[in-house]
Amino acid sequence: MGRLVSEVVEAGETARVVQRIGSADGLAIDAGVDAVVDVTLPQVSPAVVAAATAAGVPVLVGTSGWSGERIASLRANRAADAPAVLIVPNFSVGAVLAARFAEQAATWFDSIEIVEAHHAGKADSPSGTAVATAERIAAARAELGPVAAPHTDQRARGQQVGSVPIHSLRLDGVQAKQDVLFGGVGELLTIRHETLSSAAYAAGIRLAIAALPSLAGVTVGLEALLFE
């Protein structure tokens, strides 16, 4: 993702890469940096956000692992004049639309589960996209209550997020794929999104970087830029 972000920025005309920080480097941010893009690991990402905030520059977070609880903590511990943080669980416009559709369907079905598959090298599970989707489903069902998910005491039933079971697959030959399954009386609705190439993230990266200078506070998801 770091290479892809660099390629997208360098191919455009409104921004340029002035500093690259890798795992062997410290988190000192150069004076000429106007914004930081974080595509690291879940355990590293909060430190990157803290370093950007301390340097007084906004940060785009493209790292998985930012759950609702972690985002709430970030919001609660920020100064009022702190630079903006934009957290994007998935840069694919198609994935954002699929999550939006799942949120709309959530109030019509009580039986809902998520199956997500990623390449074998993905460090975290469930994916940030799956967690964000489950949290949005839970929020949409706030007045209806939790989904119907029997036998969740069994390990094979997946990890529950917002009462929604999430099943994670890590396989060679897969880029990224997510199915949100809605079971009803006599019917099954599946909302599927599959990423076939990292090129699918380019449009979302461009959109997020272009929007970052105009944002304030903590913003979550491309949907905040696409629909509002």
Q: CA angle at residue 206 from 201 to 208, to 5 degrees?
A: 95
Helix or strand run (H / E) with residue 129: helix 128-140
What is the model's pLDDT at position 68?
83
Q: Which tens digits make up the pLDDT trace of 152-209?
A: 999 999 999 999 999 999 999 999 999 999 999 999 999 999 999 989 999 999 999 9
Share of the chain above pLDDT 90, in %: 79
What is the model's pLDDT at position 228?
65
Mean pLDDT of 94-111: 96
What is the model's pLDDT at position 150?
95
Burial 102-121 (b: 16+ CB within 10 A, else e): bbebbeebbebbbbbbbeee
Q: Which domains does the chain have, with CATH numbers?
A: 2-87+199-226 (3.40.50.720), 93-196 (3.30.360.10)
Catalytic site residue 118? yes
Q: Which member of 119, 122, 167, 177 is catalytic?
A: 122
What is the model's pLDDT at position 125?
92
pTM exceeds 0.85 for this model: no
